[in-house]
Every structure is written in structure tokens, then in C-alpha cells.
Amino acid sequence: MSRITVIVDGVSYTDEVEPRTLLVHYLRETVGKTGTVVGCDTSNCGACTVHLDGTSVKSCNVLAVQADGHEVTTIEGLSENGELHPVQKAFHECHALQCGYCTPGMIMQACDVLKNNPNPSEQEIREGLEGNLCRCTGYHNIVKAVQQAAGELSSQAVSS
């Protein structure tokens, strides 16, 4: 067992984990962050996407021990002061989710896409989300939501 200390959604946790434990299993089973889900075993689906030190990672592709000393943000830590993140808001407004299972990963990845490219084209959005699978929406409204969030984020940036 290895001792790790990880900040998850702003709270510091210190736990003993097996060296083989994946970050997603640590988040779900030890920390109780069940908002982050597992959708495959081959790192294809992206349902488990979280931010590690502010950058998106598939948490099934990271060992819990690799997160030692780092900061993780999950879907549960994305909204601030009870206010939804603009990407969360846009997913709701644009009906960019149906069953919602891919949604946490999709939102976390969309945030990352917009962080790296605040003004993406439709094609850039589609390519930025290529590692996240959705079976319900056909991606149409997800792309719309990311476009809408881009607009809101850039107008926020201008006004602040």
C-alpha cells in the first residue's frame, strides 16, 4: 500500500492505496466522488475525465499514486459558490445531455478545450471532444453547448 495526499475538489485527502489503483477507482470508491464514472476499460470513452492540476485527464489512465501531491477537480467541484460553471449551464440550455452518463466527462473535457482555445470553430470543438463518447445526443447539441459556453466565457473575460 502507498500513502498519497490528493486535493480533490478543494479538500485534502490522505489515504493508503494499492499501487495499482486507478485514479477513477480512488475517486469513486475511497473519496466517494461518484459523479465521475467508468464507461469502458480501454480509455476510449472519456466518461471518467477529470482535471489534474487544471488539465483534463482520463482518470482511468492515471494511477492514484500519480496524483499524489496534485490537485484533482471533478464534475462535483466545477461549480463555484452554488453557481453553475458556464459549460454546465450551456449543456442544460442546449439540451446537450440525455441519459447523462457521459456528461461529467464531456463537460470536463469541454472546459479543457475552451481553456486551450477560447474561440473554437465547430470542427475544432468536434476534434477536441473526439476522446469522449456519447451514445444519446449524436453530439449535435453538445457542439452547440460548447459554442454557447465559448461565447459566454469570452464575454465574461471581456467584462472582468
Partner 1 sequence: MTITDDRTDTAAPELEIGKARRRKEDQRLITGRTRWTDNIQLPGMLHLAMVRSPFAHATITAIDTSEAKAAPGVIDVVTGADIKDVQGVNANAWPITPDQVTPTHLPVAVERVACAGEIVAVVVARSAAAARDAAELVDVDYDELPAVLDLKEAAADTVLAHPDLGTNKSAFWKLDSAEAGTGGDVDAAIAKARADGVVIEREFRQQRLIPAFMEPRSVVVDPTGEQMVVWSATQIPHILRFLISATMGIPESKVRVIAPDVGGGFGGKLQTTPEEFATIAVARRLGKPCKYTETRSESLLSGHHGRDQWQKLTLSAEKDGTVTGFKVELLADMGAYVAIVGGGVPVLGAWMFNSIYKFPAYQFNCQTVLTNKTWVDAYRGAGRPEATFGIERMMDELAAELGRDPLEVREQNWITHEEFPFTTVAGMTYDSGNYEAATARAKELFGYDELRAEQQRRRESNDPVQLGIGVSTFTEMCGLAPSRILGQLSYGAGGWEHASIRMLATGKVEVVTGVSPHGQGHETAWSQIVADRLGVPFEDVEVLHGDTQTSPRGLDTYGSRSLVVGAEAVVRAADKVIDKAKVFAAHLLEASEDDLEFKAGRFGVKGTDKGIGIAEIALATFTAHNLPDGAEPSIDADATFDPDNFSFPHGTHLCAMEVDTETGATTMRKYVCVDDIGTIINPLIVEGQVHGGLVQGIAQALWEGAEYDEQGTLVTGSFVDYTLPTAADTISFITDHTTSPSTTNTLGTKGVGEAGTIASTPAVVNAIIDAVRPLGVDDIVMPCTPERVWKAIQAGQAVSHEGERAAAPHFDEATPNQDPGAGSPSTTTEGSDQ
Binding site residues, partner 1, CB under 8 A:
18, 25, 28, 33-42, 44-45, 47, 74-76, 78-79, 84, 88, 91-93, 95, 97-104, 107, 122, 125-127, 129-144
| First CA to last CA distance, the chain | 46
Task: Classify each residue of 4-16 as buried b or exposed e, where b means 16 or more C-beta atoms within 10 Å of its C-beta.
Answer: bebbbbeeebebe
Closest separation between CB of residue 53 and partner 1, Å?
20
Nearer to partner 1 by C-beta: 38 or 160? 38
- How many angstroms separate the CA atoms of 36 and 25, rounded? 9
Nearer to partner 1, 6 or 86 (CB): 86
Closer CB to partner 1, 53 or 130, in the complex: 130
